[in-house]
Copies of this chain bind each other. A is one copy, B any other.
Protein backbone atom coordinates (compact mmCIF):
# COMPACT_ATOMS: atom_id res chain seq x y z
CA UNK A 1 0.00 0.00 0.00
CA UNK A 2 1.75 3.22 -1.12
CA UNK A 3 1.89 6.23 1.22
CA UNK A 4 -0.67 8.78 0.14
CA UNK A 5 -0.89 12.54 0.38
CA UNK A 6 -4.33 14.16 0.05
CA UNK A 7 -6.33 11.91 -2.35
CA UNK A 8 -7.06 13.45 -5.74
CA UNK A 9 -10.83 12.83 -5.65
CA UNK A 10 -12.68 12.85 -8.95
CA UNK A 11 -14.62 16.01 -9.73
CA UNK A 12 -18.39 15.81 -10.39
CA UNK A 13 -18.00 15.38 -14.19
CA UNK A 14 -15.34 12.68 -13.84
CA UNK A 15 -17.42 10.90 -11.21
CA UNK A 16 -20.48 10.92 -13.51
CA UNK A 17 -18.45 9.54 -16.43
CA UNK A 18 -16.85 6.86 -14.27
CA UNK A 19 -20.19 5.69 -12.93
CA UNK A 20 -21.68 5.68 -16.42
CA UNK A 21 -18.77 3.49 -17.56
CA UNK A 22 -19.32 1.03 -14.71
CA UNK A 23 -23.04 0.83 -15.38
CA UNK A 24 -23.00 1.05 -19.19
CA UNK A 25 -20.35 -1.62 -19.66
CA UNK A 26 -21.96 -3.92 -17.06
CA UNK A 27 -25.31 -3.62 -18.82
CA UNK A 28 -23.84 -4.06 -22.31
CA UNK A 29 -21.93 -7.23 -21.46
CA UNK A 30 -24.80 -8.62 -19.38
CA UNK A 31 -27.21 -8.11 -22.31
CA UNK A 32 -24.80 -9.52 -24.92
CA UNK A 33 -24.21 -12.57 -22.74
CA UNK A 34 -27.93 -13.05 -22.32
CA UNK A 35 -28.56 -12.85 -26.10
CA UNK A 36 -25.72 -15.28 -26.88
CA UNK A 37 -26.86 -17.83 -24.29
CA UNK A 38 -30.43 -17.61 -25.60
CA UNK A 39 -29.56 -17.82 -29.32
CA UNK A 40 -26.51 -20.09 -29.29
CA UNK A 41 -25.95 -21.54 -25.82
CA UNK A 42 -22.54 -19.82 -25.57
CA UNK A 43 -21.20 -17.25 -23.12
CA UNK A 44 -19.47 -14.17 -24.50
CA UNK A 45 -16.17 -15.55 -23.18
CA UNK A 46 -16.68 -18.83 -25.02
CA UNK A 47 -17.62 -16.97 -28.20
CA UNK A 48 -14.45 -14.86 -28.00
CA UNK A 49 -12.32 -17.99 -27.53
CA UNK A 50 -13.88 -19.50 -30.69
CA UNK A 51 -13.25 -16.27 -32.66
CA UNK A 52 -9.57 -16.17 -31.68
CA UNK A 53 -9.03 -19.85 -32.53
CA UNK A 54 -10.86 -19.52 -35.87
CA UNK A 55 -8.31 -16.88 -36.92
CA UNK A 56 -5.20 -18.77 -35.75
CA UNK A 57 -2.98 -21.04 -37.88
CA UNK A 58 -4.35 -24.57 -37.69
CA UNK A 59 -7.14 -23.15 -35.50
CA UNK A 60 -4.71 -23.68 -32.62
CA UNK A 61 -3.28 -21.35 -29.98
CA UNK A 62 -1.14 -21.74 -26.90
CA UNK A 63 -3.24 -21.40 -23.75
CA UNK A 64 -0.89 -18.66 -22.54
CA UNK A 65 -1.34 -16.66 -25.78
CA UNK A 66 -5.11 -17.10 -25.62
CA UNK A 67 -5.20 -15.85 -22.01
CA UNK A 68 -3.09 -12.80 -22.92
CA UNK A 69 -5.24 -12.05 -25.98
CA UNK A 70 -8.46 -12.18 -24.00
CA UNK A 71 -6.97 -10.44 -20.92
CA UNK A 72 -8.19 -13.39 -18.84
CA UNK A 73 -6.35 -14.85 -15.88
CA UNK A 74 -4.97 -18.30 -16.61
CA UNK A 75 -7.31 -19.88 -14.03
CA UNK A 76 -10.38 -18.19 -15.52
CA UNK A 77 -9.43 -19.32 -19.03
CA UNK A 78 -8.78 -22.88 -17.85
CA UNK A 79 -12.27 -22.94 -16.34
CA UNK A 80 -13.83 -21.72 -19.62
CA UNK A 81 -11.79 -24.12 -21.78
CA UNK A 82 -12.64 -27.11 -19.58
CA UNK A 83 -16.36 -26.46 -20.11
CA UNK A 84 -15.86 -25.97 -23.86
CA UNK A 85 -13.83 -29.19 -24.07
CA UNK A 86 -16.62 -31.19 -22.42
CA UNK A 87 -19.02 -29.65 -24.99
CA UNK A 88 -16.69 -30.88 -27.79
CA UNK A 89 -15.90 -27.36 -29.06
CA UNK A 90 -12.13 -27.42 -28.39
CA UNK A 91 -9.39 -29.92 -27.57
CA UNK A 92 -6.25 -29.45 -25.51
CA UNK A 93 -2.93 -31.13 -26.26
CA UNK A 94 0.68 -30.89 -25.12
CA UNK A 95 2.72 -28.57 -27.31
CA UNK A 96 5.12 -30.59 -29.50
CA UNK A 97 7.84 -27.87 -29.44
CA UNK A 98 7.72 -27.24 -25.69
CA UNK A 99 6.46 -30.01 -23.40
CA UNK A 100 5.47 -27.44 -20.73
CA UNK A 101 3.12 -25.62 -23.11
CA UNK A 102 -0.52 -26.55 -23.72
CA UNK A 103 -2.21 -25.99 -27.07
CA UNK A 104 -5.90 -25.39 -27.56
CA UNK A 105 -7.44 -26.42 -30.90
CA UNK A 106 -10.92 -25.67 -32.21
CA UNK A 107 -12.81 -28.78 -33.35
CA UNK A 108 -14.99 -28.94 -36.47
CA UNK A 109 -17.98 -28.88 -34.13
CA UNK A 110 -16.56 -25.72 -32.54
CA UNK A 111 -16.19 -24.07 -35.94
CA UNK A 112 -19.74 -25.04 -36.91
CA UNK A 113 -21.01 -23.65 -33.62
CA UNK A 114 -19.24 -20.32 -34.24
CA UNK A 115 -20.61 -20.12 -37.80
CA UNK A 116 -24.14 -20.71 -36.53
CA UNK A 117 -23.77 -18.20 -33.69
CA UNK A 118 -22.13 -15.34 -35.62
CA UNK A 119 -25.17 -13.95 -37.52
CA UNK A 120 -27.19 -13.72 -34.30
CA UNK A 121 -24.30 -12.27 -32.32
CA UNK A 122 -23.60 -9.50 -34.83
CA UNK A 123 -27.26 -8.48 -34.71
CA UNK A 124 -27.03 -8.40 -30.92
CA UNK A 125 -23.87 -6.25 -31.01
CA UNK A 126 -25.63 -3.86 -33.40
CA UNK A 127 -28.81 -3.67 -31.34
CA UNK A 128 -27.02 -3.26 -27.99
CA UNK A 129 -24.14 -1.04 -29.13
CA UNK A 130 -23.52 0.04 -32.74
CA UNK A 131 -27.07 1.17 -33.60
CA UNK A 132 -27.49 3.06 -30.31
CA UNK A 133 -24.61 5.51 -30.72
CA UNK A 134 -23.48 7.66 -33.65
CA UNK A 135 -20.75 6.45 -36.06
CA UNK A 136 -18.47 9.19 -34.65
CA UNK A 137 -19.09 7.93 -31.11
CA UNK A 138 -18.36 4.35 -32.18
CA UNK A 139 -15.02 5.46 -33.63
CA UNK A 140 -14.17 7.57 -30.58
CA UNK A 141 -15.07 4.69 -28.24
CA UNK A 142 -12.62 2.53 -30.17
CA UNK A 143 -9.87 5.16 -29.89
CA UNK A 144 -10.38 5.53 -26.12
CA UNK A 145 -10.55 1.79 -25.52
CA UNK A 146 -7.41 1.17 -27.59
CA UNK A 147 -5.57 3.46 -25.15
CA UNK A 148 -6.96 1.55 -22.16
CA UNK A 149 -6.04 -1.79 -23.72
CA UNK A 150 -2.34 -0.85 -23.66
CA UNK A 151 -0.17 -1.74 -20.67
CA UNK A 152 -0.18 1.38 -18.47
CA UNK A 153 3.39 1.17 -17.22
CA UNK A 154 5.07 0.01 -20.43
CA UNK A 155 7.34 2.17 -22.54
CA UNK A 156 5.01 1.75 -25.50
CA UNK A 157 1.88 3.11 -23.89
CA UNK A 158 2.80 6.80 -23.89
CA UNK A 159 3.43 7.18 -27.67
CA UNK A 160 0.32 5.10 -28.40
CA UNK A 161 -1.67 7.33 -26.07
CA UNK A 162 -0.45 10.40 -27.97
CA UNK A 163 -1.33 8.78 -31.30
CA UNK A 164 -4.79 8.04 -29.96
CA UNK A 165 -5.22 11.64 -28.85
CA UNK A 166 -4.11 12.88 -32.26
CA UNK A 167 -6.53 10.52 -34.00
CA UNK A 168 -9.32 11.56 -31.69
CA UNK A 169 -8.69 15.25 -32.42
CA UNK A 170 -9.08 14.50 -36.14
CA UNK A 171 -12.32 12.61 -35.53
CA UNK A 172 -13.74 15.32 -33.29
CA UNK A 173 -12.88 18.15 -35.68
Contact = CB atoms under 8 A, between A and B. Distances in A.
A108 interface: no
B23 A145 contact: yes
A7 interface: yes
A157 B131 CA distance: 12
A143 to B, nearest CB: 8
A109 interface: no
A163 interface: no
Given A20-B145, A24-B144, A148-B24, A130 B14 contact: yes
Nearest to A5: B119
Contacts of A31: 152
Q: Number of copies of this chain in the oligomer?
A: 2
Contacts of A18: 125, 129-130, 142
Contact of A39 (B1, B39, B73, B132): B1
A18 B143 CA distance: 10
A7 B126 CA distance: 11
Given A10-B125, A17-B138, A23-B145, 20 more contacts: A4-B119, A13-B139, A13-B142, A23-B71, A24-B144, A24-B146, A24-B147, A25-B25, A25-B29, A26-B70, A27-B71, A30-B71, A30-B73, A31-B152, A127-B152, A128-B152, A133-B144, A140-B172, A141-B141, A172-B172
